[in-house]
Structure 1
Amino acid sequence: MADKPSRALVLYCNGLALFIGPSHYHLHSLASKASCGFLTLPSAPASESEDDRVVREFAVLMDACEAYTDQRVFGAKLGLTVLESDVLVKNLHSLAEVPADVVVSELLNLLGFKEGKTLETSDYDLVCVHVGNGGRVSGEKNKAVAKDMEYVNALVGDIMKIAQPGSEIGSRLHLSLVMSHGHVPEDDDPNLSVLTTKDEKKSDLLMLFPCQSYTMSGENQREDVRHHFPMLLAQWQHGITRKDMAEVFSFKDSKEHGGNLAIPADRFLHEVAFKLWKAPKYGA
């Protein structure tokens, strides 16, 4: 446990999980140092629009499904400050127009990390950056996705360079990389499912097979859990988060070697709050 509360940076990459490739070196480097796992989501409502899906999944991530019913004031209801890219970096229309190292510097400034030092006070304890529009990909949109992926890769690389082990920032910055699959097929995909199946050869033990923890809420079983296409999660803070055996940032490596396994997406913010000393570990 740290001797001071951390400050958290969350990179939330909407709809980019399927496009992680071998060339995204910094994502894989982060995974090899981080604790990896999954965030499970509920199933999408019937005939949900793409815009509604984007807001709903972010609402789940923020454990704010009640506020989601009125999307236009969603951020205000949660007490979130929404910063457009042209406010973060003056006179520019999108983050993609700005070198990644400049954006990283501005994001860390919001958290009170400046020029390699940790200021006593900061504007925010938690900053969440949204990248990617996450819809169905075809034609020209492939180029946009590729551009988003390269940008996320560069952001992660610059963050890790600044918060490297031994640095003053490294012991205080809690970094979470969250990648969702965006729009997904309605049918389950056994190749991208976190569900652990029962071993039919041991039929005498089937009655003892426990419910997996991500399907439970306290003593009650969750009514709606989507087992397939979970969000990928990597969390890293030098000397604080445990390192697991994952070597690349992928579904397969996270399932086989990740230390976090799967938790419901609506518990993510509570896990982060614990690192910020704003919630107890259990029952947050």
Structure 2
Amino acid sequence: MADKPSKALVLYGDGLARFVEPSHAHLHSLASKAACGFLSLPIAPPSESEEERIVREFAVLIDANQDYLSGIGEHTTELKWEEKSPFQTISDRFMGLKAALITTNSRLKSFGDKLGFATLQLNELIETSDSLSGSPIDVVASELLKLLGLQRGKMEEVSQFDLVLVHIGAGEKTNDDKGKAVAHDLEYINALVRVILQMAQPATEVGSRLHLSVVLSYGQVLEADNSNLSVLISIDEKSSDLSALFPRQSYTMKGETPRNDVRHHCPMLISQWQYAVTRKDMAETFSFKDFKEHGGYLTIPADRFLHEVAFKLWKAPKYGA
């Protein structure tokens, strides 16, 4: 735990996990110095559309699934936020947390507005920037940190936000364009990670105060994904002498109650890094296989993610409470 509250930047690659390649060197570099693992998701409702999935999985990630469920039609999954009264805001839930959501998805923006996020778009950061030099990705990275009060290598006394969550995904693209869009989105995250790690060098004020999370999900999931991308420990992986003593894995529980809707395959992949605050595990690549074999976080429910981040920001009394 740091001796001062951190500022959090979350890069959320929606539906991009299965497309990570060896060429995405900066994602792999982050994983090699970060704490890595999985965020388990609930089983998707039947006949869920891609638009519905995007909002629902985001809602789970920020532990607002009950708000999501209260904002859909009684007998349909059609989103009807405009007909609902305001939800409990993220500021109310996390001790005055000031949060921004950056997304181009209109339904996600509407949901974020209801939850008290300030909603922005990446192109707005470039348009409002006073920087006269650097590539667009350099400008965006600098502006993201500026929103958190991290400027010119220093931490400002007052910042606009405590948490900035950037949603990047290809959900709005047509099928014809989706392949190109996925490649562009993943390369964009890879490039952002490169610039942010350069700005947050160890032993600098930015490095010691910035809590960086990169979360990649699998998007829409087929049953065929079950066998190769399962977080369950198989019989072969258990010691035969101790197999009878294997406990129920904690991500399948909520308090003392079993979670009955856990999807054991295709979890979100997560790497978290903050200099001298997060631990380093043995993972070397941003991949399902490496995280399963060497990740230090193992598997936690996705709805606990924001609680852990808020704890690092001094906006929650205890992670997991």
Q: Please give the TM-score of this superposition, normalised by the length of structure 1.
A: 0.92
Partners of 1:168 and 1:68 lie apart in 2 by 37
Indicate the SS of the match to 1:191: coil
* Selected match of 1:143 from 180, 183, 203: 180
Kindly state the Cα deviation for residue 189 of structure 1 after the two structures are TM-superposed: 1.6
* Correspondence 1:211-230 to 2 at 5 A: 211-230=248-267
- Is 1:135–1:182's contact at 8 Å kept on the other side of the alignment? no
Structure 2 residue 143 is matched with structure 1 residue 131: no
Structure 1 residue 62 displacement after superposition = 0.6
Q: Which runs of 5+ in 1 are unaligned?
A: 93-97
Matched letter for residue 270 of structure 2:
L
2:210 pairs with 1:173? yes
CA distance in 1, matches of 2:141, 2:35: 22
Counterpart residue identity of residue 178, structure 1: V
Alignment of 1:240 onto 2:273: no
The 5 A counterparts of 1:1-284 are: 1-69=1-69, 70=71, 71=79, 72=81, 73-90=110-127, 99-134=136-171, 139-187=176-224, 189-198=226-235, 207-284=244-321
* 183-192 vs 41-50, greater mean Cα deviation: 183-192
The superposition leaves residues 58-85 of structure 1 with CA deviations (integer Å, 9 ceiling, x where unpaired) of 0000100122132435223321111123
Q: Tell me the SS of whatever aligns to 1:66.
A: helix
CA distance in structure 1 between the partners assigned to 2:111 and 2:205 by the alignment: 35
Q: Which amino acid aligns with 2:309?
A: V
Kindly state the Cα deviation for residue 199 of structure 1 after the two structures are TM-superposed.
5.2
- Any idea what SS the aligned residue of 1:140 has? helix
Structure 2: distance between partners of 1:201 and 1:16: 31
- Structure 2: distance between partners of 1:184 and 1:11: 21
On the 8 A contact 2:35/2:272 being kept in 1, the answer is: yes
SS across alignment from 2:303: helix
1:161-195 CA-partner distances (Å, limit 9, x unpaired): 00011211000000000000001103552210001
Residue identity matched to 2:29: S
Looking at structure 1, the residues matched to 286 and 311 of structure 2 have their Cα atoms a distance apart, in angstroms, of: 24
Q: For residue 160 of structure 2, give the secondary structure of its aligned residue in structure 1.
A: coil
Q: CA RMSD in A?
A: 2.2
- Give the drift of 1:278: 1.2
Q: Distance in 2 between matches of 1:65 and 1:165?
A: 36
Equivalent-residue separation in structure 2 for 1:194 and 1:181 (angstroms): 14
Shift of 1:136: 9.6
* Contact map agreement 1:16 1:134 (CA 8 A) in 2: no
Which segment is superposed worse, 67-76 or 9-18? 67-76
Partner residue in 2 for 1:95:
none
The structure-2 alpha-carbon separation of the partners of 1:91 and 1:224, relative to structure 1 and needing over 3 Å to count, comes to same
| Counterpart Cα distance in 1 of 2:164 and 2:278 | 19
Q: Structure 2: how far apart are the matches of 1:196 and 1:10? A: 29
Structure 1 distance, partners of 2:19, 2:140, is 22
Q: 1:89 offset after TM fit, Å? A: 2.6
- SS of the residue aligned with 2:228? helix
Q: Which runs of 5+ in 2 are unaligned?
A: 72-78, 82-109, 130-134
Q: Distance in 2 between matches of 1:204 and 1:85?
A: 54
Q: Distance in 2 between matches of 1:281 and 1:255?
A: 26
Whichever residue aligns with residue 255 of structure 1, its letter is K
Partner of 1:128: helix, strand, or coil?
A: strand
**Deviates further, 61-70 or 49-58:** 61-70
User: How far did 1:281 drift?
Assistant: 3.0
The TM-score normalised by the length of structure 2 is: 0.82
Q: CA deviation at 1:201?
A: 8.8
State whether residues 179 and 232 of structure 1, in contact with CA within 8 Å, keep that contact through their aligned partners in structure 2.
yes
Kept in 1: contact 2:170–2:185 (CA 8 A): no
- Matched to 2:28, the amino acid is H
CA contact (8 A) 1:42 1:226 kept: yes
Amino acid at match of 1:35: A
- Alignment CA distance shift 1:283-1:147 (3 Å): closer
Q: Which runs of 4+ in 1 moved over 4 A?
A: 134-139, 199-207
Give the letter for the 1:23 counterpart.
Answer: S
Q: Secondary structure at the match of 2:207?
A: coil
Partner Cα separation in structure 1 for residue 126 and residue 37 of structure 2: 32
